[in-house]
Amino acid sequence: MKLLSRLLAALTATALFASAAQAAPIVLATKGFTEQHILSAMTTMYLQKKGFQVQPKTNIAAVISRNAMVNNQIDITWEYTGTSLIIFNKIDKRMTPQESYDTVKRLDAKLGLVWLKPADMNNTYAFAMQRKRAEKEGITTLSQMVQRMDDLREHDPKNNWLLGLDLEFAGRSDGMKPLQQAYNMHLDRPQIRQMDPGLVYNAIRDGFVDAGLIYTTDGRVKGFDLKVLEDDKGFFPSYAVTPVVRKPILDANPGLDDALNTLSGLLNNDVISTLNARVDIDHESPQKVAREFLQQHKLL
């Protein structure tokens, strides 16, 4: 009888342990800017609707998030191909978006990290101008912008073109100097106006600079009606946002990959910049924007 009691107690303890293990929430980590706040809210709501337990952690720096994933402290993140390629894997070779994705997917598989379906969006660097001015002057590419700068330098040297840049890009080894080499861009020091990244958008809109460095999915691109110039020489790397998950978590949660791929399949530059603008320009909460987006697509 005592033996039977012990067996029952052991089985009960095992069952409770297994139940607790299954109930452990999936830890989702996102970074500290608008786009990532929206992705966090969207992912949490949708996964919970699908029956998964999710514990969101926000405002986590990229390198910290990466180390936490490798050390099994974080389970899911929305990462950018360019960040993984350049920051995590120290690869500065120019690649197509598909080559970038294939490379980081292959390298991270060795660490037990699975890159799922990349969104059809690219939150990379670009230069932008006031749309009306760009259309008036017929500027749609970076090469045309550089040609316009050269024309002014030759014919109207007192009216030098001004560029707005954030401090980091201006001084980075893979930033402004190699960009100038790629496009044969001649600049004098006074032509570069360094400022906080968030102020560049206002400076372009208000005419304080002729063009400025922006992020292509920032809501202010659409909100301020800016014209993003084509990087016709392919200088800037691809930054396609992608759900990245630890393999043991995928194995233990059937359907998780399909759910995350459903979300990434709904995103592109126009969609995410519109959502970003609702937060940054209209001052709506990321939670409200995410919820209405999911409802619009009948996912809630």
Residue 261, beta-bridge partner list = none
Q: What is the CATH number of domain 2-122+239-296?
A: 3.40.190.10
In Å, the largest CA–CA distance within the chain is 102
Question: What architecture is the 125-228 domain classified under in CATH?
Answer: 3-Layer(aba) Sandwich (3.40)
Fold: same for 2-122+239-296 and 125-228: yes
The whole-number pLDDT of residue 174 equals 66
Q: At what angle do helices 176-183 and 142-155 cross, to 10 degrees?
A: 80
Looking at the DSSP bridge assignments, the partners of residue 54 are 26
Residue 244 has a pLDDT of 98
Residues 12-54: pLDDT tens digits?
Answer: 444 444 443 455 899 999 999 899 999 999 999 999 999 999 9
pLDDT higher than 90, residue 298: yes
* pLDDT tens by residue, 223-248: 999 999 999 998 988 999 999 999 99
pLDDT bracket for residue 173 (50, 70, 90): low
- State the DSSP H helix or E strand holding residue 242, giving kind and residue range, or none if neither: strand 241-246
Helix axes 34-49, 269-280, angle to 10 degrees: 110
- pLDDT tens-digit series, residues 106-140: 999 999 999 999 999 999 999 999 999 999 999 99
For residue 168, pLDDT over 90 is answered with no
What residues contact residue 256 under an 8 Å CB cut-off, 6+ apart? Answer: 26, 47, 52, 245, 249, 250
User: What ranges do the domains of the chain cover?
Assistant: 2-122+239-296, 125-228
